[in-house]
Structure 1
Amino acid sequence: MQLFEAPNILERLRHNYIPSDVEIHAIRESITIAQSRIVALQSGPPTETEGLSKYVALYSSLISPIRRLPVDILQTIFLDPIAHRRLRPGGFTRRSIIVDYRPNYLGAVCYHWRCLSLETTKLWSSLVVSPNQTDRNTVGGLRLALQRSQGAPLYLKFHPAMTGSILDRETIEEVLKHTERWAHIDLTTNAGLLRQLSPARHRLESLDTLTILHSDSYEYLQQYPSELFAEPPMLRTLRVTKLPDSPSAVPILPWSQLTQLCIHVDWAGGPPSTGAYYYMLSQATNLREYDVYLPYATEPGPHPIISHHLKEMCVTMKVDVLNHSTAPALEKLALVHCTLTSAVPSFLDRSSAQLQTLEMDGASVRAVDLVSLLRMVPTVRRLVLRKLLPNAVTNLVLQSLTIGAFPLDQVLLPMMTSFLLDGGYLFKADALMSMLESRLTPPDEFSQLAAIDIRISLMVVPAARLQNFAIAAKQAVEAFSFVSLNEARTAVAVDFRLGLLDAVFGSSRRLIP
């Protein structure tokens, strides 16, 4: 039987030609025939199978599903930070601002990808400016990347090779030509490099995000040119990984403009400066988002800090930072790897905020304290309990959320519409199912549970009950995911879960983000 032969196969591969359905069917049959012939000729000379192997490789590439992806989808994949492995985990403001894309690697895949990567200006707008003369850090590579970025906002990381190193004159001149496009700056630098950047002052009209990493940056910003970042009209986000030694060393910034502050102090720097910490918070009077990770306990601040506009707060490790803070407009509170202490309920009591989202990730809390905490936030609509200690979520907690287990005025979170539970806990499966079922068709005083994501290992729920729950959920739940894994029957349980999801939503099932 004759193999399918497409005219100009190499040219078609080069230009991302998409074969028709009839051609795809014929090519698949030909590939099967070619593979059969290869098997039959295995005992013969390698030269007899080389042509067939090349045929299989070429035509398999021609019908590859990725060739059918639209251009906009491919560009989205090109720009995905996870694909480039430069995404920092945790927190809602902890994502790295610099994603060091590798467009040269993408362009080496095929001619079509090369053309597309050259057209994707954002691929060329993320640059590491360093004395290391490698890759795009050469003057020629930098100039070419800036040309290909075609006016897109620039993501710049100023990263020294070693203490005291500076950029060569051509490199700094090339970068300074585009100061009006500097949107994100990641500053890991020293006094010499900061001095080189001084001409950028008054010209940072597009700067939106500034990150100051662990270095001697504070000490130099306190001196000349101390007002390098004092005037960017669009600056809204500040991220720091080292606190200054004192309030006087805090850099001059347009603090009242900032809407997002991320303070992530590493362990190596020793206990942070409490004075500088509270000073920065007191100056940033218009924050909307605040993400703090301090591995050491903080001393009380000199004055109470009231953040009137703060909407989202993420606290990692030490919750004592809440002791002298008040946020009356807070809508989202995330507690990550914390031990729940009196600081949290005291903060909530002072703030009297209409909290909409409560997330607890890896936090240490007892069931009785969790119940008390939930009782303080009746306005919460989205509850996330992820990887807590086993004794954090017990029958007591679930019963307190179950409509009908107690008088209606004693049931927790009457407005809850979204529930995510992940981990291994000391409760009975029946308690969980009863709570979920009671929330699917609640009385008028309660909101209907519309998004469920349960990820519990080593929990066995009778199939009949899960099926009944799926029938009820089909009409009530917008997003549904249920993982109930018995360690001895993992594969069967997963298959059943997928079947259950199909029963609820068909092929268009959706999960909680």
Structure 2
Amino acid sequence: MLSRLRNDRRTTNNPPSVPGPLDHLLTSNNPPSYVEETLARNTIQALRDSLPALQLEIDNHASHPGSLTLEDRKATIIKDIAAHEAIISPWRKLPSDILRAIFQKTITLTPPWALSQVCRPWRTLIHSTPTLWSCITIDFNTKPTRHPSEENRLKQILQRSANKQSANTDLWIRSQEDRLKLVLQRSANADLHISIRGIMNQGDKRLSLLLILVAHSERWRYLHLELTLDTEAVTALQAVKGHLPRLSQLHLKFWKIKEPTIIELFSIAPRLETVIIDNVFRDVRVAIPVHQLSTYTCKSTPYVGSGLNNSLTAFSNLVHFECYWEHSVDPLAPRITFPRLKVLIIVFSFNVINPAGGFFDQLILPSISEIIVWGQADGVALPMLEMISRSQPCNLRTLSITSITLESTGDLASFLRLTPQLKFLRIPLSPNVDLSHLFTASDSPVLLPKLQSLHIVVSDFSLPSFSSLAPFIATHVEMPSSARFRLKTLQLNFLTEFACRTAYSAIQPLPAVGELDSDILALINSWKKRLVEDIPHLSRQLTPQKMFTNLTQHWHRLDQLFKTIEGYNIPTSGYLHVRDLFSIPNLTANLGADFEGLKITFRYALY
């Protein structure tokens, strides 16, 4: 026994003994052949089979000084097993084209610097795939930093590289310019996705990075630009005008507008199809080839001056249109037909009385499938009804209107009879409109046979109409399974807490509170108080900076509270008066379980 321990002690520090035929696989990620894989599996099994006897020997000599050597031997065997398991890993046999496809799906925003350092095969694959290097971001808000460990990391990259000349090109960490040039070199002739954002100061040396990118503008396919208009960056970008043959998507956001500005950088872009102008001031006008666009989104900047026809006549090929609108339209102007438009998202200003009616008076949308209307749209019902009527056949699938006034139930019925394909409907509850006929399963034809999701916006002034819905909601569990509609979701969006409380009271009877109910309510209120106290931003007792100081304590108290609530058995009781439970903003309460796919939820509107 002692002689064996001496032998083990002499060989402990030696490298693990591995079969010669597998040496090259233990030092690389190359895939094994069938024979090599079989040998690796047999080796793994043999090593595993040796562990029980070794463990028994360790247990029998636990107090012997040589037991440490046995433990080392066990650790070596376990290490050998792990090394051989790596040989038979499925990753080794994954075809390069599949691995490349995985990388292309997962790498979308930044160059794959880290992945290229995992192993030689991955590095070779990544370096030879230009599309993996096609996403480039320049952020002027982030200053380049230098960490002391970067020099050591650079040396490791050099040591792992088999080609010193190739490794020298990886000195991207020393220079931002060299790094960008290397990315452009590896991207070859691939389309580029460019993101440029931030605030540049006068004389910013990083302007050279932008100049390098501008020289490759012929390869720009997607451009996300967020800049101030009074910087050298905009001047540098002037060089791209007329040199954007591949540009198809454009996302713009500008700040600090001092005077009216016309941006003509993108007026010549033969493949431009999608334009998003986000948070642009009124004094900025972007010249774009509107006649070729399929998607146009203009956020937070209403159209000004020229009216609907002059603004939109040229957008004849639009498929998706989203904008803000606040101006009236000439009633004598000719109507505009958008033959391909499928999605219309329009926001009407609250500062102008009834701009919505004139907007829809001028439109013909034969292909429309989704209409979303936000803002002040009180006069939109009849004009939209007429627009849908003259745009027949109607294939509208989604209709969402957050503010609308309907005079009677007949107005709503007339409106919805023209939209039999609707699957999603979001509509405010009007004081004089009864929506209960949308749910009933009578012998009459169902108004919306394909409707799956209904969202009803309830405000204080529409509460009287809610009484017509309350009986259905209160007894929805008794709905016959033969009901001839496919409604899956009914969501009530309350604009105020008062509306939510009142509606809940209309659904659930509220008898006098008994003694037992009072005790339970007191317990529930104590839970609510503890919740508010342990969630700092609800109690508003702490500033955001101090909010996380005692976060662990808050988590512990909340965990204990939730365990108490989960373990509580509610005793037999009458109805509970629950109106006081609605004092926490944005409370969500589920009423009833799913039934035939129908789910009813109460929540406050988030807009």
> Which range, TM-score by smaller chain?
0.5 to 0.7
Give, in angstroms, the shift of residue 205 of structure 1.
Answer: 1.4
Query: What is the CA–CA distance in structure 1 between the aligned matches of 2:345 and 2:239, rounded to whole Å?
Result: 37
1:375 aligns with 2:417: yes
Which one has the largest radius of gyration? 2
1:245 aligns with 2:282: yes
Counterparts of 1:282-301 in structure 2, within 5 Å, are 282=312, 284-292=314-322, 298-301=326-329
TM-score (norm 1): 0.62
Query: What is the CA–CA distance in structure 2 between the aligned matches of 1:393 and 1:11, rounded to whole Å?
Result: 75
Query: 2:482 is matched with which residue: 429, 434, 437?
Result: 434
Answer yes or no: is the 8 Å Cα contact 2:276–2:296 preserved in 1: yes
3-state SS of paired residue (2:190): coil
Query: Which runs of 5 or more residues in structure 2 are unaligned?
Result: 1-16, 146-171, 457-471, 492-589, 601-607
Aligned residues between the structures: 409
Query: 2:216 is matched with which residue: 178, 181, 184?
Result: 178
Give, in angstroms, the shift of residue 204 of structure 1.
Answer: 1.3
Q: In the alignment, residue 117 of structure 1 is paired with which amino acid?
A: I
1:154 paired residue number: 192
1:141 aligns with 2:179: yes
1:275 paired residue number: 304
Distance 1:343 1:385, change over 3 A: closer
Give, in angstroms, the shift of residue 260 of structure 1.
Answer: 0.7
Counterparts of 1:320-339 in structure 2, within 5 Å, are 323=357, 324-325=359-360, 326-335=363-372
Query: What is the CA–CA distance in structure 2 between the aligned matches of 1:199 and 1:161, rounded to whole Å?
Result: 20
**Deviation sequence 1:90-149 (CA, Å, 0-9, x none):** xxxxxxxxx423411232333333333223322211111345446889111111111111
**Deviation sequence 1:232-265 (CA, Å, 0-9, x none):** 111121101123315xx31222222222112233
1:356 paired residue number: 395
Answer yes or no: is the 8 Å Cα contact 1:256–1:284 preserved in 2: yes
Query: What is the CA–CA distance in structure 2 between the aligned matches of 1:331 and 1:339, rounded to whole Å?
Result: 22
Query: What is the CA–CA distance in structure 2 between the aligned matches of 1:231 and 1:293, rounded to whole Å?
Result: 23
**Deviation sequence 1:170-212 (CA, Å, 0-9, x none):** 4344223322111111111233211111122121111112111
1:118 aligns with 2:133: no
Query: 2:116 is matched with which residue: 107, 119, 133?
Result: 107
1:228 aligns with 2:269: no
3-state SS of paired residue (1:229): coil
3-state SS of paired residue (1:356): coil
Query: What is the CA–CA distance in structure 2 between the aligned matches of 1:393 and 1:115, rounded to whole Å?
Result: 67
Query: What is the CA–CA distance in structure 2 between the aligned matches of 1:395 and 1:71, rounded to whole Å?
Result: 59
Query: What is the CA–CA distance in structure 1 between the aligned matches of 2:395 and 2:43, rounded to whole Å?
Result: 55
1:50 aligns with 2:69: no
Give the percent of matched residue pairs that are identical in Structure 1 and Structure 2: 18
Distance 1:219 1:202, change over 3 A: farther
Give, in angstroms, the shift of residue 278 of structure 1.
Answer: 5.7
Answer yes or no: is the 8 Å Cα contact 2:193–2:220 preserved in 1: yes
2:336 paired residue number: 306
Query: What is the CA–CA distance in structure 1 between the aligned matches of 2:186 and 2:387, rounded to whole Å?
Result: 52
Answer yes or no: is the 8 Å Cα contact 1:335–1:361 preserved in 2: yes
Query: 1:195 is matched with which residue: 235, 242, 248?
Result: 235
Query: What is the CA–CA distance in structure 2 between the aligned matches of 1:301 and 1:332, rounded to whole Å?
Result: 24
1:397 aligns with 2:438: yes
Query: What is the CA–CA distance in structure 2 between the aligned matches of 1:236 and 1:230, rounded to whole Å?
Result: 12
Query: What is the CA–CA distance in structure 1 between the aligned matches of 2:405 and 2:24, rounded to whole Å?
Result: 66
3-state SS of paired residue (1:213): strand
Q: In the alignment, residue 397 of structure 1 is paired with which amino acid?
A: L
Query: What is the CA–CA distance in structure 1 between the aligned matches of 2:54 and 2:259, rounded to whole Å?
Result: 69
Query: What is the CA–CA distance in structure 2 between the aligned matches of 1:315 and 1:150, rounded to whole Å?
Result: 39
Distance 1:422 1:114, change over 3 A: farther
Give, in angstroms, the shift of residue 333 of structure 1.
Answer: 0.6
Q: In the alignment, residue 23 of structure 2 is paired with which amino acid?
A: N
* RMSD, aligned α-carbons: 5.1
Counterparts of 1:416-455 in structure 2, within 5 Å, are 416=450, 421=453, 426=473, 428=476, 431=479, 433-435=481-483
Query: Which runs of 5 or more residues in structure 1 are unaligned?
Result: 85-98, 266-271, 440-451, 467-481, 486-513
Answer yes or no: is the 8 Å Cα contact 2:316–2:338 preserved in 1: yes
Give, in angstroms, the shift of residue 329 of structure 1.
Answer: 2.3
Distance 1:398 1:123, change over 3 A: farther
Give, in angstroms, the shift of residue 483 of structure 1.
Answer: 10
Give, in angstroms, the shift of residue 411 of structure 1.
Answer: 2.3
Answer yes or no: is the 8 Å Cα contact 1:213–1:240 preserved in 2: yes
Give, in angstroms, the shift of residue 412 of structure 1.
Answer: 3.1
Give, in angstroms, the shift of residue 10 of structure 1.
Answer: 4.4
Answer yes or no: is the 8 Å Cα contact 1:318–1:339 preserved in 2: yes
Answer yes or no: is the 8 Å Cα contact 2:381–2:405 preserved in 1: no
Give, in angstroms, the shift of residue 8 of structure 1.
Answer: 3.2
Give, in angstroms, the shift of residue 428 of structure 1.
Answer: 3.1
Counterparts of 1:23-38 in structure 2, within 5 Å, are none
Query: What is the CA–CA distance in structure 2 between the aligned matches of 1:429 and 1:285, rounded to whole Å?
Result: 49
Answer yes or no: is the 8 Å Cα contact 1:264–1:293 preserved in 2: yes
Q: In the alignment, residue 143 of structure 1 is paired with which amino acid?
A: K
**Deviation sequence 1:264-299 (CA, Å, 0-9, x none):** 33xxxxxx44417966852652242335375xx834
1:79 aligns with 2:107: no
Query: What is the CA–CA distance in structure 2 between the aligned matches of 1:361 and 1:232, rounded to whole Å?
Result: 34
1:212 paired residue number: 252
Give, in angstroms, the shift of residue 220 of structure 1.
Answer: 7.4
Answer yes or no: is the 8 Å Cα contact 2:403–2:428 preserved in 1: yes
Query: What is the CA–CA distance in structure 1 between the aligned matches of 2:341 and 2:52, rounded to whole Å?
Result: 64
Bigger mean CA offset, 347-356 vs 146-155: 347-356
Query: What is the CA–CA distance in structure 2 between the aligned matches of 1:434 and 1:317, rounded to whole Å?
Result: 40
Query: What is the CA–CA distance in structure 1 between the aligned matches of 2:194 and 2:201, rounded to whole Å?
Result: 19
